Chains A and B, each alone.
Chain A
């Protein structure tokens, strides 16, 4: 019963969040300077052509009516038509989602595989004057270097010295998996620098927090080996913040791979939204932002469930979280 209530509560709050996001984005795109007609049809268009376009996309109706129609359509799974390509936005998002998804999976995998061991290593080996400072400096750099700076640098270097890794192009996975990976490795690496750094920092702090717990001191006193202590006592207890972070990063990367996709010319959801914003292609921007919000919400629910599995005290049924 409690689980049912929890799901109902989450569903309601998720729907409310999505509704709020939809109102915000719908209003925001219409407040952006630059009219759709001048942008989409160009300066040569006649007033008649502009009016025709407005009628075709319902843009001549009051905004609240436009919103109502859009919301009803979205509820039925119809995200509208792109004013540029005249293709259904939903189909185009679906075609682009695998690119962003692959990029995210690679970046998150790199974050988990590199960030967690790095964090553990810097925590268990931290001693005054040791490598902790260097680790913090490196992770600080990783967090603070903007993706477009790093991305542009990588594009420049690897366009000269490719080392088998393609830049500025993309090959579908279904066409040639090896070539696809060659085009995805660098953008995923750029995208993961921030995520690895944050993961390493969070892991380090979590591990340091566990290291001072009495049960660790007791384990050391029992003469257990250091790696046994790390595996059995530290990792599980330090996992909650790390898992939460990885979940958040996944949602962030899925919704926010804008810059990397643009710099590396990958046909993902991010570059689709960037181009749509530039052209005031309303339906695409609205659908893209709504998708990103939905991913965030779903990831948060998954994190809550996973955290509950890792630490039943914090779980759904423990009644500590709503």
Chain B
């Protein structure tokens, strides 16, 4: 018996010490009854003291083979992390209006000319003042690079200095999304003097004008940032340090949030909000984004089942984006056309040609095309909620007599199958696009001659491409809305890539540890956009 007693004693002692060590008295949520201004999910309580360390948990690290170079960054998770150290000439507000950042104002003397007046007192984190040469050099470097973002800047003809404190950009023709394209991390102002003299390699070092400076980064493990004491905006950033833990497993992020080791976590599964329901001092919010899921129908494979546009149109008609949003995304997504729902000037998905047609009409189109017993494989990646979206698609299409086999792959296999070969070998595939901050930007991906990456499964449509370019030139207003509506209708009829529903972002934070600022809708997938405002209530 003695060994058992001893074991029990040891166990009791361990438990007692463990409980004693827990002793965290979490203050109850002081749920301030401050109404959030329009366009915000939360605003940081400015009456709270500054300082402290902010601990975050995110699902993925910046995993680009291009390193830290912001100009070559092409995914939102990388933009999010780099945005702590890099800044752009302009930014976007909660309503997607373009607002000053490193340029405190700008003139547009004619629709093809932009003159940016640089903010005074901006320095890079090494202490050197940002100059017009840095801005000119950064933009020229971006335009000369292989960056995806180069195309989003539009038809830039020249970038020149306009005196010591201004930069002039001339376009070869008007391009409305230009300012919105300047508001994202790939268009960040880089320390060109140091890059040119090779004392800094932007692929290896983050040296920007942003609120935080990197102290340490371990790939797929963590980032440690400390405040940039030379930051131009007085009083910002509020927190002294930001620790970002990379936790690919959703359960680990939820656990870190619940036990307080993370003050804010990004969540991927729409059901995670339910899992956290009732968790003490944890608030879960859904940030709408302009990102959206879409269906690719491969018209380029040998013997393609989707070469006939009537078959593709039948698929578009039979799909029910509202049901996808409600069932697969827990009501958090919105049906969308190719201009992302939520952006000013975006098309109304209910006004698309396919939206007004019935399943019977879809069946008739299939019969006319001789494809009554259409069966195809839908390739998806296994990350939630893609499997749930695919299941609703499968049920939708069954109504029109189409049989869908779902093929679930890990992301690398999926990526290889969809983008690895031209012509691509899949039947249909599900993916999502970042929607950006102007309704005309993502429409460019419907032109495979511009986008390039989709040439393996999509045939260019001359008429659609002309409409996309025309909408890009129209200044904001009724004429542009009409031009965009024409793009949406044409893309809907073409149906090689069918937009489905917007992709929500779920964010959870500890109300006893953090008072954050968050936009209600985000265009560049940047949950950390307003991190410099966040107030730390207590470091856990």
Which residues of A line the B interface, CB within 8 A? 32-35, 38-46, 48-49, 53, 82-87, 92, 95, 117, 152, 155-156, 158-160, 162-169, 182, 262-265, 267, 271-272, 275, 278-280
Whether the pair A87, B219 counts as a contact (CB closer than 8 A) is: yes
Q: Please judge, given known A-B contacts A163-B22, A164-B18, whether A35 and B420 are in contact too, CB under 8 Å.
A: yes
Q: Which residue of B lies closest to A99 (CB)?
A: B221
Alpha-carbon gap, A40 to B74, bound state (A): 12
Q: Please judge, given known A-B contacts A42-B75, A162-B22, A163-B22, whether A263 and B416 are in contact too, CB under 8 Å.
A: no
Whether the pair B453, A279 counts as a contact (CB closer than 8 A) is: no
Q: List, in ascending order, chain A residues with CB within 8 A of B269's CB.
A: none
Which of A35, A83, A95 is close to B416, meaning CB atoms less than 8 Å apart?
Answer: A35
Q: Please judge, given known A-B contacts A39-B412, A44-B74, whether A160 and B420 are in contact too, CB under 8 Å.
A: no
- Some 11 contacts from A to B, beta carbons below 8 A apart, are A34-B409, A38-B412, A41-B65, A44-B74, A155-B255, A159-B251, A159-B259, A164-B17, A169-B261, A262-B248, A262-B249
Q: Please tell me if B215 contacts chain A, counting CB pairs below 8 Å.
A: no
Contacting residues of chain B (129-169) with chain A, CB-CB under 8 angstroms: 146, 148
Which residues of B line the A interface, CB within 8 A? 3, 15, 17-22, 57, 63-67, 74-75, 146, 148, 203, 218-222, 245, 247-249, 251-259, 261-262, 279, 409-420, 451-453
Alpha-carbon gap, A33 to B417, bound state (A): 8
Whether the pair A162, B412 counts as a contact (CB closer than 8 A) is: no
Q: Which residue of A lies closest to B415 (CB)?
A: A38
Whether the pair B256, A163 counts as a contact (CB closer than 8 A) is: no
For chains A and B in complex, what number of residue pairs have CB atoms within 8 angstroms?
A: 149
Q: Which residue of A lies closest to B456 (CB)?
A: A43
Which of A33, A49, A82, A166 is close to B259, meaning CB atoms less than 8 Å apart?
Answer: A166
Alpha-carbon gap, A308 to B21, bound state (A): 45
Whether the pair A168, B254 counts as a contact (CB closer than 8 A) is: yes
Q: List, in ascending order, chain B residues with CB within 8 A of A163's CB.
A: 15, 18-19, 22
Whether the pair B255, A167 counts as a contact (CB closer than 8 A) is: yes
Q: List, in ascending order, chain B residues with CB within 8 A of A33's CB.
A: 409, 412-413, 416-417
Given contacts A33-B417, A46-B146, A265-B252, 6 further A-B contacts (CB under 8 A): A35-B416, A158-B255, A164-B22, A167-B252, A168-B259, A280-B412
Which of B146, B251, B262 is close to A156, meaning CB atoms less than 8 Å apart?
Answer: B251
Which of A40, A162, A164, A264 is close to B20, meaning CB atoms less than 8 Å apart?
Answer: A164
Whether the pair B453, A168 counts as a contact (CB closer than 8 A) is: no
Most chain B CB within a 10 A radius of its CB, from A35, A43, A48: A43
Q: List, in ascending order, chain B residues with CB within 8 A of A164's CB.
A: 17-22
Can you list the 10 inter-chain pairs with the closest CB atoms, starting with the nearest? A159-B255, A34-B416, A34-B412, A164-B21, A85-B219, A168-B255, A168-B256, A168-B252, A164-B18, A265-B252
Q: Which residue of A lies closest to B4 (CB)?
A: A121
Q: List, in ascending order, chain A residues with CB within 8 A of B75's CB.
A: 42
Alpha-carbon gap, A87 to B67, bound state (A): 10
Which of A160, A165, A280 is close to B258, meaning CB atoms less than 8 Å apart?
Answer: A160
Q: Which residue of A lies closest to B3 (CB)?
A: A117
Q: List, in ascending order, chain B residues with CB within 8 A of A168's CB.
A: 57, 247, 249, 251-256, 259, 261-262
Alpha-carbon gap, A38 to B21, bound state (A): 47
Q: List, in ascending order, chain B residues with CB within 8 A of A83's CB.
A: 65
Q: List, in ascending order, chain A residues with CB within 8 A of B64's CB.
A: 41-42, 84
Whether the pair B254, A159 counts as a contact (CB closer than 8 A) is: yes
- Cβ distance A266 to chain B, nearest Cβ, rounded Å: 9
Whether the pair A39, B259 counts as a contact (CB closer than 8 A) is: no
Whether the pair A84, B19 counts as a contact (CB closer than 8 A) is: no
Alpha-carbon gap, A182 to B20, bound state (A): 13
Alpha-carbon gap, A128 to B309, bound state (A): 76
Whether the pair A39, B74 counts as a contact (CB closer than 8 A) is: no
Most chain A CB within a 10 A radius of its CB, from B65, B219, B221, B257: B65
Whether the pair A34, B417 counts as a contact (CB closer than 8 A) is: yes
Whether the pair A165, B18 counts as a contact (CB closer than 8 A) is: yes
Q: List, in ascending order, chain B residues with CB within 8 A of A82's CB.
A: 219
Alpha-carbon gap, A160 to B276, bound state (A): 10
Alpha-carbon gap, A280 to B218, bound state (A): 19
- Cβ distance B349 to chain A, nearest Cβ, rounded Å: 25
Alpha-carbon gap, A162 to B279, bound state (A): 13
Q: List, in ascending order, chain A residues with CB within 8 A of B409's CB.
A: 33-34
